Amino acid sequence: MKRLSGKLFSSIDEPILGKITFKPVNLFTRKNYIFISNDGRTKFGYAANLVTTPSNSRPYLKSNSVLIDPEEIKYLNEGDIVSIEKNGVIKVLYEKDSIHNFLLLTERCNSSCIMCPNPVVTKEDDKIPMILKVISLINKDTQLLGITGGEPTLMGDKLVDLINACKVALPQTKLMLLTNGMKFEDFNYVKKIVSVKHPELTIDIPIYSDIDTIHNDIVGAKGFYKTIQGLYNLACFDQKIGLRVVIHRLNYRRLPQMAEFIYHNLPFVKHIAFMQMEPSGVAKVNIDELWVDPYDYINELERTILYLHRREMRVSIYNAQLCVLSPILWEYTKRSISTWKNIYIDTCKDCDYKENCGGFFASSLEIYSKHIKAFKLS
């Protein structure tokens, strides 16, 4: 999530949510907007004002106003949705021009994945009321919206309500739920999810090995059979399902065997994504145990991808750089890293394939393949 620094003119009791606008809005709808002012003048009726110079407005107009560096404003666009926190930090919850928008339901989880890119969180405020308001403000023509965590299913029936809210408010928007799938071993809970009948809901679930103990060691929970049962329960309702496999030192050698396991046991999944690891959060703490140069598993990945493709299963490679892949795999790569944390290192400046390459996570500045190089069109 993109965060910008701001300074509140006066304290606030709770976060302020609104849609960014650079131009005046009708008085009766202003309460849903946050106005950007470049002349220090705050406007009446808005949820808040972001000003780039110290405000010269009257004191009663300075409430819910935030001073923000002009350089930070360039990261905001008309129609973005942000929250202003009690410490003045501005969180960008939705970017109108991005295809990588996600609703973060909770930061709590019932797994303890050794390569999780997020820090461990055990206690938090209920995010659902704010998220429901975000949904009401999102542009109706948004193509794709993700639901993620933590573990979203920890919200129980609130997750069901949220999926329904998306169906009502954003009927044309594809919805992608990222979950470890363990909760779906409960057949009745699966029935609640599918009973919403969201026409464009895909549920993406990770598996990290074809061997239960390896998967369980990676996720820090006895979850393998719960996840597999959850996948079968979802398949009973013909729910669209995707699989995600994060590759690292603990599982890369068995990628070909995992491909066989998926084909023989999970032939109903619509898509399988094999992903480079994001070296941040818990993953960075465990980096010595996890890191393997992506160049070193080219052979295993190629065998895996081609095995599944030849059996008419849809496969993709996420978060990967073209120069560490064999050319035969390039057609399977996707630019999947969220815009706000997608970077390219200095070596990439002169690469003629940069526009088609997945690039790096911002957290990869110190941790990346030794085989990165710039390609030139021949």
Residue 61: other Cβ atoms inside 10 A: 16
Q: Tell me the C-alpha to C-alpha distance, in Å, between residue 2 and each of 62, 89, 201, 360.
A: 25, 10, 25, 16
Residue 136: other Cβ atoms inside 10 A: 13
- CATH number for region 2-94: 3.50.30.10
Contact 226, 181 (CB under 8 A): yes
Contact 286, 218 (CB under 8 A): no
Angle between helices 298-310 and 255-265 (to 10 degrees): 20
Q: What is the pLDDT of residue 57?
A: 55
Quote the pTM value: 0.93
Cβ-based burial of 107 (10 A; exposed 0-12, middle 13-18, buried ≥19): middle
Range with the poorest average pLDDT among 53-57, 106-110, 159-163, 200-204: 53-57
The strand pairing partners of 271, in sequence order, are 242
Please give the CATH topology (third level) of the domain spanning 102-364: TIM Barrel (3.20.20)
Question: What are φ and ψ of residue 301, in 5° steps?
Answer: -65, -40
pLDDT tens string 244-269: 999 999 999 999 999 999 999 999 99
**Every domain of the chain and the residues it spans:** 2-94, 102-364
Nearest-angstrom CA–CA distance, 347 and 134: 39
Q: What is the pLDDT of residue 119?
A: 86
Mean pLDDT, the chain, integer: 95
3-state class (DSSP) for residue 169: helix
Q: Can you tell me which residue has the tokens 């023989």?
A: 264
pLDDT tens string 298-314: 999 999 999 999 999 99
Q: Which of 294, 299, 303 has its CA nearest to residue 323?
A: 294
